[in-house]
Amino acid sequence: MDLKLKYAEKLIEVLQEPLPISDVYNLIETPKHSAHGDLAFPCFYLAKKVRKSPNMLAEQLAETLIDPLFTKVEAKGAYVNVFFSKMHISTTIITDIIEQKSRYGNSAIGENKTVVLDLSSPNIAKPFSMGHLRSTVIGNALANIAKKCGYKVVRINHVGDWGTQFGKLIIAYEKWGDFEKVKENPIQELFKLYITFHDEAEKTPSLEEEARRAFKLLEEGHQQYTELWEWFRSASLQMFLNIYQLLDIKFDSYHGEAFYNDKMEPVVNLLKENHLLEESDGAEVVRLDDLGLPPCLIKKKDGATLYATRDLAAALYRQETYQFDEALYIVGQEQSIHFQQVFAVLQKLGYKWAHHMKHIPFGLYLMNGKKMSSRKGHVVLLEEVLHEAIALAEKNIADRNPDITNKTEIAKAVGVGAIIFHDLKNERMNSISFSLQDMLTFEGDTGPYIQYTFARTQSILTKGKVTNDTFTGLDTEKSWEIIKLLQIFPKKIEKANEQCAPSVIAKYLLDLAKAFNQYYGKVKILHIDDDLHNRLSLVNAVAIVLAEGLSLLGIKAPKKM
Ligand code: ARG
């Protein structure tokens, strides 16, 4: 139930001048002090229309606004302040949540629509970077949120498995590679070879030419090179799968860049037919000067295709395969020009759907205030970070709760959840500072804090034995904060979806957990009296919403920890 909407509906009935409900809705404010009411309607705008003084109008409205929904309606200056009947509201909301369970907050905004999300997309033979982690967890949360809003969602891992760097890697492997070592530790070894190549190429520039030729041969299907490439690819993917397993994230497609090898010629032809392709220094480009963008490179001098060419082919393929209504690319902000170019070229080709493609950028991870870079081998290996977080979580849990069963499973949920939450609580574009200790504390704005609060609801519910008594309302000041928060969960999901901002959900969960823990500190929930079953229903509703909110973010909610 949306209280703002309820208030707007009641107001509409008594307004002298007809206003669209959305206008009224948008005018309604939340008073700074709850003593002034739950919601307030400012009369300035309407007063102008009906040529009355705002204060007088407020008086009049307050007098006519009589409804069992409100326990008090009060004119304060130019505002009409209302106080809701806590009994009435709490009954509706708690009953709704308990009835709908995890379906509470579902909406039909995306009904019959498909959204494809391009997320994670790490590069073969390179470490899975913190940037890829951000893309993975943000993208996964956005997919969950879209699904809750009724969309059909498709998660695509556009693996970076093609491009000139594979020429370099092949040459480096031929010159300095060691089969056993690569087999043992593919990503680290291949990445080392890649770095060696760059160091050597500084001394021997002809290596660059060799690598270019090797990539050209690879593109033409050279057998031995193809076999090497396939090996690099599958060995790297295996490592990435370990990470996805820890994060418990699945993709609908792993079609990476190489998948589009035979799908680029049609794109090039299409560009030619539309007279969009121009020559520039031997290369072929689409000029985007009219949009103030640098030209989009389609083919290099030697005929080799580029990252953008593959993204164009991928967009066409995805539209044909999924008929998407929206396409989101969750990729770091440093690629913003690239996506502007790709979308612009598709729009120039006349595709209407290209107007529904969006780049969803995000900020960097910082370590001691500096960018965490994978350059020159200063890599932070994500898999190690995850395992470290799990180990630390296990220690924390063992300290607090030595006899707990399933310790490993719970530690995994807490350690991984901590990392995901630490990312998602930040606004997408902000940089994040990396500190495992901060992520894993049970107090403060962390994932474990919310999981711990959920576990607390579970232990209360086990002790209190929930009955089937229907909820008959709670009329206490102490539970009111919680009720108000539970009530806005559906709105928060909509907002998170609209703004592609999982942080909206993360912050909401922190508010709800804090409100609940305050309640827990003040009220003897399990005290035996007539309201016991009502309080337990409230706890149950909080538990449902906490678990559902966490699951939207891709975080598990263990019953004990
Ligand atoms: N592999 C790329 C990188 O790591 C990201 C790919 C993003 N997706 C896309 N369709 N371009 O930088």
pLDDT in tens, 415-438: 999 999 999 999 999 998 888 888
| E-only strand ranges, 250-356 | 277-280, 283-286, 296-299, 326-330
Q: Kindly report the CA angle at 103 between 22 and 442, in degrees rounded to 5?
A: 100
pTM, two decimals, is 0.91
Say how many Å lie between the CA of residue 222 and the centre of ligand 1: 25
Q: How confident is the model at residue 486 (pLDDT cuts 50, 70, 90)?
A: very high
Q: Helix or strand or coil: residue 474?
A: coil
Burial class (CB in 10 A: 0-12, 13-18, 19+), 19: middle
Who lines ligand 1 at CB under 6 A?
118, 121, 123, 158, 160, 311, 329, 331
Say how many Å lie between the CA of residue 481 and the centre of ligand 1: 43
* Helix ranges restricted to H, 222-283: 223-247, 265-273
Element (H, E) at 3: helix 3-14
Q: Which two tokens stand for residue 89?
A: 């509201």
Contact 439, 393 (CB under 8 A): no
Q: How far is CA 184 from the centre of its chain?
A: 34
Average pLDDT of span 261-274: 95
Taking alpha carbons only, the member of 484, 512, 540 closest to residue 2 is 484
Say how many Å lie between the CA of residue 148 and the centre of ligand 1: 26
Q: Which residues 6+ apart lie within 8 Å of 442 measured at CB?
A: 396, 400, 448, 449, 452
Q: Atom of ligand 1 at shortest distance to CA of 159?
A: 1
Q: Helix or strand or coil: residue 248?
A: coil
Amino acid in the structure at residue 229 = W
Mutate to test the pocket of ligand 1, among 117, 119, 121, 340 (most ligand atoms within 8 A of CB): 121
Average pLDDT of span 71-96: 93
Over 90: is that where the pLDDT of 138 sits? yes
CATH architecture of 3-84: 2-Layer Sandwich (3.30)
**Percent of the chain clearing pLDDT 90 (strictly above):** 80
Q: Atom of ligand 1 at shortest distance to CA of 129?
A: 4
Nearest CA residue ID for atom 1, ligand 1: 160
Q: For the stretch 336-354, what's the b/e string if a residue is b when 16 or more beta carbons lie within 10 angstroms of its beta carbon? A: eebbbbbbbbbebbebebb
Nearest CA residue ID for atom 4, ligand 1: 122
Contact 47, 54 (CB under 8 A): yes
One fold for 3-84 and 119-371 = no
Tens of pLDDT, residues 505-543: 999 999 999 999 999 999 999 999 989 999 999 999 999
Tens of pLDDT, residues 93-128: 999 999 999 999 999 999 999 999 999 999 999 889
Q: Which residue carries 């399933």 as its tokens? A: 406
User: In angstroms, what CA-CA distances link 100 with 115, 493, 547?
Assistant: 25, 16, 13
Q: Helix or strand or coil: residue 379?
A: coil
pLDDT given at position 45: 93
Average pLDDT of span 173-185: 93
Over 60: is that where the pLDDT of 463 sits? yes
Beta-bridge partner residues of 41: 80
User: In angstroms, what CA-CA distances link 335 with 323, 332, 367, 427?
Assistant: 25, 6, 22, 19
Q: What is the CA radius of gyration of the chain?
A: 28
Q: Which two tokens stand for residue 125?
A: 């033979």
pLDDT given at position 382: 83
Say how many Å lie between the CA of residue 159 and the centre of ligand 1: 7
Tens of pLDDT, residues 338-377: 999 999 999 999 999 999 999 999 998 887 777 766 554 4
Other Cβ atoms less than 10 A from the Cβ of 204: the count is 9
Helix and strand numbers (H, E) in the chain are 21, 13
Mutate to test the pocket of ligand 1, among 132, 158, 166, 194 (most ligand atoms within 8 A of CB): 158
Mutate to test the pocket of ligand 1, among 194, 335, 339, 346 (most ligand atoms within 8 A of CB): 335
Q: Kindly report the CA angle at 298 between 294 and 300, in degrees rounded to 5?
A: 100
pLDDT given at position 95: 93
Is 3.40.50.620 the CATH classification of the domain at 119-371? Answer: yes
Say how many Å lie between the CA of residue 158 and the centre of ligand 1: 6
Say how many Å lie between the CA of residue 191 and the centre of ligand 1: 18
Beta-bridge partner residues of 276: none
Q: For the stretch 102-119, what's the b/e string if a residue is b when 16 or more beta carbons lie within 10 angstroms of its beta carbon? A: eebbeeeebeebbbbbbb
Q: Atom of ligand 1 at shortest distance to CA of 332?
A: 12
Beta-bridge partner residues of 75: 80
Q: Which residue carries 């003084």 as its tokens? A: 53
| Between 465 and 412, residue with greater pLDDT | 412
Mutate to test the pocket of ligand 1, among 331, 339, 364 (most ligand atoms within 8 A of CB): 331
Q: Which CATH number fits domain 382-553: 1.10.730.10, 2.60.130.10, 3.40.50.620, 3.10.129.10?
A: 1.10.730.10
Q: Helix or strand or coil: residue 253?
A: strand
DSSP letters spanning 115-155: EEEE---PBTTS---HHHHHHHHHHHHHHHHHHHTT-EEEE
Nearest CA residue ID for atom 5, ligand 1: 121
Taking alpha carbons only, the member of 177, 173, 167, 176 closest to residue 208 is 167
Q: Which residue carries 């799990």 as its tokens? A: 390
Taking alpha carbons only, the member of 558, 275, 203, 258 closest to residue 396 is 558
Give the residue extent of every domain in the chain.
3-84, 119-371, 382-553
Nearest CA residue ID for atom 11, ligand 1: 311
Amino acid in the structure at residue 440 = L
d(CA 324, CA 133): 25
Other Cβ atoms less than 10 A from the Cβ of 415: the count is 28
Say how many Å lie between the CA of residue 123 and the centre of ligand 1: 8
Taking alpha carbons only, the member of 431, 418, 302, 438 closest to residue 370 is 431
| E-only strand ranges, 277-346 | 277-280, 283-286, 296-299, 326-330
Amino acid in the structure at residue 510 = L
Q: Which two tokens stand for residue 534?
A: 């009502």
